[in-house]
């Protein structure tokens, strides 16, 4: 198991888990019978073959590791759950249920996953809520899972259950680890590895000492409401945007779509804190996960860059250009690292002290490594189908920890950009205002860029 994967296990508490979830909403196929969802659950109840990570249980011991269970050791009736909203269930009702499901930690005595099939949605739709532990999957890993289970063909039938299809590289804890020791046969490569280590050290020093106004160093962010101690209940809110709209704005402004997303979030956060009389004079910062995944192995393959959100700048266009400068600086530093291993290591070195704080119950008491996480995950470009049912939207629900009470994750899918806001219900009150405010900030930015 890699250090990053183990960190998610070491950091969670008995009442506050480190799970991430995929909330997907579906429309029935045109020829669907009235009992389509019930039949789907019945078919899945007979699917008793389990691939990684669905057959992995946490092994007891001081060092976290996985053990592979036989099919007869897995209680599918526990993991597969069928429920319904009072008809017609809308986005608000689905969000309330998702918040409740996300609040409960996964049971470590079992494989760390749950599949909730939810019917009763408006227009006869249904939803799937797949909850997994972050030690076993990241954002791109969830996309790979969907792509190998679902089909772009609406005519495909008799498709397997989510837990039946193995990844191309299914070894538990697979992937590279920057902690792996070199073999004696690698002696000839030691010089190259030392050079890589030197470049990694240089990047870390530059991150923490650069005086460039766009540089965002770790543990230098102002402490805000988002950086306190957490309670168990979670709140989930969602928004949807057209991808073409964001792409047009990015092209006109000469920035990336990710810069547009960060600027919209920054505007919402600025307004939210201003309304509370708590807007710092110093810029908030965001940890932005960057995928280094090159396979379908179990576990995480991510690193981090840190970017300034420039919430101290009132003008949205000026804020956008300042954010662009900060993200460009961070991305250039990241790209200059020579390998996947060093890029992943940079994220581990930046996050290591924070994970240690969480594990020791010290997080949320001192300076935050950054104020919040804002992720941008590229998803499938075309619609995907499950036995004829079309996946209409995919909301990625992430996790929060002490000191990091808000997470915003964007995911592109079939021409739309779904945004999911996950927060501690008590620490970040009225979190829905941030979700709505992100759309309002985008409207304002669009009007100014057009003008």
pLDDT for position 407: 95
Q: Is residue 287 part of a domain?
A: yes
- Same domain for 105 and 238, yes or no, is no
For the chain, the domain total comes to: 2
**Domain closes at, from 114, 131, 149:** 149
Whole-number Cα distances in Å, 23 to 129, 334, 408, 418: 5, 31, 14, 11
pLDDT for position 106: 93
pLDDT at 174 over 80: no
- Same domain for 117 and 238, yes or no, is no
- Same domain for 210 and 98, yes or no, is no
- Same domain for 270 and 415, yes or no, is yes
Q: Report the CATH number at residue 283.
A: 3.30.559.30
- Same domain for 133 and 48, yes or no, is yes
Report residue 352's pLDDT band, with 50, 70 and 90 as the boundaries. Answer: confident
Q: Is residue 281 part of a domain?
A: yes
pLDDT for position 298: 52
Q: Convert the pLDDT of each residue in 85-110 to its tens digit.
A: 998 999 889 999 999 999 999 999 99
Residue in 133, 134, 310, 324 annotated catalytic: 134
Report residue 342's pLDDT band, with 50, 70 and 90 as the boundaries. Answer: confident
* Global confidence as pTM: 0.87
Q: Is residue 169 part of a domain?
A: no
- Same domain for 384 and 331, yes or no, is yes
**Domain closes at, from 85, 118, 149:** 149
**DSSP string across 179-206:** TPPPPGGGGGGHHHHHHHHHHHHHHHHH
Domain extent for 326: 192-450
Q: Is residue 365 part of a domain?
A: yes
Distance CA 286, CA 305 (A): 8
Q: Is residue 158 part of a domain?
A: no
* Residue in the structure block whose two tokens are 């918040």: 99
- Same domain for 145 and 219, yes or no, is no
227, with CB counted inside 10 A (0-12, 13-18, 19+), is buried
User: Three-class SS of residue 275?
Assistant: helix
pLDDT at 359 over 80: no
Distance CA 204, CA 346 (A): 7
Report residue 341's pLDDT band, with 50, 70 and 90 as the boundaries. Answer: confident
pLDDT at 156 over 80: yes
Q: Convert the pLDDT of each residue in 196-240 to its tens digit.
A: 778 888 888 888 888 889 999 999 999 999 999 998 899 999 999
pLDDT for position 172: 44
Q: Convert the pLDDT of each residue in 281-324 to its tens digit.
A: 999 999 998 865 555 555 555 678 899 999 999 999 999 999 99
Q: Is residue 138 part of a domain?
A: yes
pLDDT for position 2: 62
Phi, psi of 241, deg, nearest 5: -135, 155
Q: Which tokens is 301 given?
A: 């393959």
Q: Which tokens is 185 given?
A: 């046969």
Q: Report the CATH number at residue 114.
A: 3.30.559.10
Distance CA 437, CA 430 (A): 11
What's the mean pLDDT when you consider all of the chain? Answer: 87
pLDDT for position 64: 77
- Same domain for 378 and 316, yes or no, is yes
In the chain, % of residues over pLDDT 90:
62
pLDDT at 135 over 60: yes
pLDDT at 450 over 80: yes
Q: Is-catalytic flag, 134?
A: yes
Phi, psi of 298, deg, nearest 5: -70, 145
């Amino acid at each position: 198991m890699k250090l990053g994967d183990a960190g998610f296990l070491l950091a969670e508490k008995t009442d506050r888990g480190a799970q991430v979830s995929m909330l997907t909403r579906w429309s029935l196929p045109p020829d669907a019978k009235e009992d389509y969802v019930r039949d789907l659950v019945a078919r899945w109840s007979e699917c008793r073959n389990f691939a990684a990570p669905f057959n992995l249980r946490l092994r007891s011991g001081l060092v976290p590791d996985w053990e592979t269970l036989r099919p007869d050791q897995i209680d599918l009736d526990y993991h597969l759950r069928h429920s319904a909203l009072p008809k017609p269930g809308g986005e608000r009702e689905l969000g309330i249920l998702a918040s409740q499901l996300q609040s409960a930690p996964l049971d470590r005595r079992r494989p760390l996953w749950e599949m909730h099939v939810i019917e009763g949605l408006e227009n006869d739709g249904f939803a799937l809520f797949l909850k997994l532990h972050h030690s076993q999957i990241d954002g791109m890993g969830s996309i790979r899972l969907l792509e190998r289970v679902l089909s772009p063909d609406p005519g495909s039938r008799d498709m397997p259950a989510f837990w039946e299809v193995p990844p191309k590289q299914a070894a538990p804890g697979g992937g590279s680890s920057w902690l792996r020791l070199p073999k004696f046969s690698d002696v000839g490569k030691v010089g190259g590895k030392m050079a890589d280590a030197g470049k990694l050290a240089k990047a870390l020093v530059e991150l923490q000492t650069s005086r460039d106004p766009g540089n965002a160093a770790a543990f230098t962010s102002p402490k805000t409401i988002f950086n306190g101690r957490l309670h168990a209940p979670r709140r989930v809110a969602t928004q949807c945007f057209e991808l073409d709209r964001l792409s047009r704005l990015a092209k006109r402004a000469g920035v990336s779509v990710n810069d547009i997303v960060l600027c919209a979030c920054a505007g919402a956060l600025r307004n939210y804190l201003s309304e509370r009389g708590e807007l710092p004079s110093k810029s908030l910062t965001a940890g932005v996960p960057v995928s280094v995944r090159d396979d379908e192995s179990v576990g995480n393959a991510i690193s981090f860059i840190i970017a300034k959100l420039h919430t101290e700048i009132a003008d949205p266009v000026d804020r956008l250009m300042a954010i662009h400068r900060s993200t460009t600086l961070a991305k250039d530093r990241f790209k200059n690292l020579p390998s996947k291993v060093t890029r992943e290591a940079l994220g581990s070195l930046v996050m290591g002290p924070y994970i240690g704080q969480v594990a020791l119950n010290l997080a949320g008491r001192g300076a935050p490594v950054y104020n919040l996480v804002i992720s941008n995950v590229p998803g499938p470009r075309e619609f995907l189908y499950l036995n004829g049912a079309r996946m209409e939207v995919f909301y990625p629900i992430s996790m929060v920890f002490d000191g990091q009470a808000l997470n915003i994750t964007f995911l592109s899918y079939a021409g739309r950009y779904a945004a999911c806001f996950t927060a501690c219900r008590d620490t970040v009150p009225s979190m829905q205002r941030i979700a709505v405010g992100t759309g309002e900030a985008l409207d304002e930015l669009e009007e100014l860029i057009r003008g």
